[in-house]
């Protein structure tokens, strides 16, 4: 059964919300992390509630509501989110107060809002949605796990539409820890030069991206999600990708564009370089993490980007890699890995 992407909305380090154009006005940053461009949250959330919400909750609610508005849907049949770190800001606030207050007289708000499922719960509360609600915390494939659940719900006809999103925030404490572990760079770099200056480490990112999936076609459909697969430490990623493509009954030359998760880290990007020079040689290639940064659910940004490419039939020049030209793609393959452990493949195609 085909899964239709009715709409998609994204809060990221680029001006991607509220019909601001599809990656036409690119924001450049020089540093080691990419902060999101916050929209006017008053359009989506009551003022009295905004001041009580952490950053990731506001991002998630705004992206989710915009996604529903774009599809003209008031109530989704289910809400599913994926996140690796959850509400870091509230978690750190609670732990700090726990230590400073000697574990006594702790205000409960930060604890209540520190759980990983807070974003999905807040969306449901604001929509007064009593349907299926779940959050997946599966590290680098958290968003793909949420997508898998949504596909099963639709295939089993337990829901007619499913709102699926990936949310992640970057706070100073977690950024410092991950930098010490070698994930992020210690020296500033321009995000537009990130992929060409391959060194150790990448730029940290954050964001929230949602898609509304349906089992039946509609007038607002952006694209179709044809297949999805997740892999953990695959022995031969080339063979796994070939098997994934074979299962869909297509050939390599049926793929019009491949979107890779290059992030500028010399070790991380080696797998992508081998694929470009090997099985995907001669096929147009695009990247996206120089626009949104690296974070566990960055693939949600990639799906948002692929959906818009298929809908508009245009590829923003800023995402293209190499000299192989690409025009009006009909089928796109997305391949991403997080820290060489968590790998995912998605195949999306044009509706018509």
Q: For residue range 322-338, list pLDDT tens digits in order.
A: 888 888 899 999 999 99
pLDDT at 18 over 80: no
**Domain boundary residue, one of 149, 183, 214:** 214
**Residue 21: pLDDT over 80:** no
For the segment 45-67, the average pLDDT, to the nearest whole number, is: 93
- Is residue 325 located within the same domain as residue 254? yes
Position 70 pLDDT exceeds 90? yes
Categorize the per-residue pLDDT at 1 as very low, low, confident or very high, splitting at 50, 70 and 90.
Answer: low
Whether 197 and 229 map to the same domain: the answer is: no
Last residue of a domain, which of 197, 214, 231?
214
Same domain, 180 and 35: yes
Of the candidates 72, 67, 60, the residue with the CA atom closest to the CA atom of residue 7:
67
CA of 217: how far to CAs of 47, 69, 80, 102, 314, in Å? 36, 17, 21, 56, 22
DSSP state of 33: B
pLDDT band at 145; cut points 50, 70, 90: very high
Q: Which residues pair with 5 in a beta bridge?
A: 213, 223
Q: What is residue 265's three-state secondary structure?
A: strand
Residue 189, beta-bridge partner list: 31
Report whether pLDDT(349) > 80.
Answer: yes
Task: Report phi then psi at 252, rounded to 5.
Answer: -60, -40
- Which structure tokens are listed for 143? 């968003």
pLDDT of residue 270: 95
Phi first, then psi, for residue 104 (nearest 5°) are -125, 150
Secondary structure element (H or E) that encloses residue 27, with its range: none
Provide the CATH number for the domain around residue 246: 3.40.47.10
User: How do strand 30-31 and strand 189-190 relate by DSSP bridges?
Assistant: antiparallel
Coil vs helix vs strand at 317? helix
Output the pLDDT for position 305.
Answer: 98
Residue 121 has pLDDT above 90, yes or no: yes
Is residue 102 predicted with pLDDT exceeding 70? Answer: yes
Look up residue 42 and give its DSSP letter.
G
Q: What is the pLDDT of residue 115?
A: 84
Cα torsion 114, 115, 120, 125: sign: negative
* Domain edge (last residue) among 179, 214, 249: 214
Minimal CA–CA distance to 290: which of 198, 190, 170, 191? 191
Highest mean predicted confidence (pLDDT) among 92-101, 111-120, 278-287: 278-287
Q: How far is CA 85 from CA 119, 142, 190, 269, in A?
A: 12, 10, 26, 23
Same domain membership, residue 80 and residue 59: yes
Both 132 and 230 in one domain: the answer is: no
Q: Mean pLDDT for the chain?
A: 93
Separation in Å, CA 298 to CA 105, 155, 211: 38, 26, 14
Residues of the chain with pLDDT > 90: what percent? Answer: 83
- In order of 162, 235, 348, the CA distances from 83 in angstroms are 17, 26, 22
Do 67 and 208 lie in a common domain? yes
**Does 163 lie in the same domain as 34?**
yes
Are residues 188 and 275 located together in one domain of the fold? Answer: no
Query: Which positions ≥6 away from 202 have C-beta within 8 Å?
Result: 183, 184, 185, 194, 263, 264, 265, 268, 289, 293, 294
- Please report, for residues 242, 343, 345, the alpha-carbon distance to residue 238 in angstroms, rounded to integers and kept in the order given: 6, 12, 12
Domain shared by 151 and 244, yes or no: no
- Tell me, yes or no, whether 79 and 186 share the same domain: yes
Tokens 């999936």 label which residue? Answer: 213
Helix segments in the chain, DSSP class H: 47-50, 55-71, 88-100, 109-112, 118-127, 142-155, 172-180, 237-247, 270-277, 289-292, 299-312
- Tell me phi and psi for residue 223, to 5 degrees: -165, 180
User: What's the pLDDT band for 113 if we cut at 50, 70, 90?
Assistant: confident
Quick one: 204 and 227 in the same domain? no
Domain count, the chain: 2
The answer on 286 and 205 residing in a single domain is no
The range of the structural domain enclosing residue 244 comes to 223-349
3-state secondary structure of 7: strand
State pLDDT tens for residues 162-215: 999 999 999 998 899 999 999 999 999 999 999 998 799 999 999 999 999 999
Output the six-digit token pair for 210: 């949602």
Q: For the chain, how far is it from start to end, CA to CA, in angstroms?
A: 16
């Amino acid at each position: 059964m085909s899964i239709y992407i009715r709409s998609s909305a994204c809060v990221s380090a680029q001006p991607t919300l509220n019909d601001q154009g599809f990656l036409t006005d690119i924001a450049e940053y020089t540093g080691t992390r990419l902060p999101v461009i916050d929209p006017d949250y008053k359009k989506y959330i009551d003022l009295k509630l905004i001041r009580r919400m952490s950053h990731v909750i506001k991002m998630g609610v705004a992206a989710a509501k915009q996604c529903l508005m774009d599809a003209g849907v008031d109530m989704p049949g289910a809400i599913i989110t994926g996140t690796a770190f959850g509400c870091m800001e509230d978690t750190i606030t609670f732990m700090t107060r726990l230590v400073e207050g000697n574990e006594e007289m702790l205000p409960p708000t930060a604890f209540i809002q520190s759980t990983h499922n807070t974003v999905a719960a807040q969306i449901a509360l604001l929509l007064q949605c009593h349907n299926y609600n779940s959050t997946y915390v599966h590290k680098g494939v958290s968003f793909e796990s949420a997508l898998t659940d949504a596909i099963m719900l639709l295939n089993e006809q337990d829901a007619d539409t499913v709102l699926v999103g990936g949310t992640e925030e970057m706070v100073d404490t977690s950024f410092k820890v991950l930098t010490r572990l070698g994930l992020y760079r210690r020296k500033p770099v321009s995000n537009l030069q990130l992929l060409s200056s391959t060194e150790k480490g990448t730029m940290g990112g954050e964001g929230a991206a949602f898609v509304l999936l349906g089992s039946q076609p509609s007038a607002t459909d952006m694209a179709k999600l044809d297949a999805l697969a997740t892999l953990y430490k695959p022995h031969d990623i080339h063979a796994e990708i070939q098997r994934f493509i074979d299962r869909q009954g297509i050939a390599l030359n049926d793929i019009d564009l491949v979107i890779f998760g290059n992030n500028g880290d010399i070790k991380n990007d080696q797998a992508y370089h081998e694929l470009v020079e090997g099985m995907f040689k001669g096929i147009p290639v695009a990247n996206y993490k120089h626009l949104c940064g690296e974070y566990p659910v960055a693939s949600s940004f990639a799906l948002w980007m692929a959906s818009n490419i298929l809908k508009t039939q245009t590829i923003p020049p800023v995402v293209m890699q190499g000299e192989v030209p690409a025009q009006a793609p009909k089928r796109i393959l997305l391949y991403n890995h997080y820290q060489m452990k968590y790998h995912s493949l998605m195949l999306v195609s044009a509706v018509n």
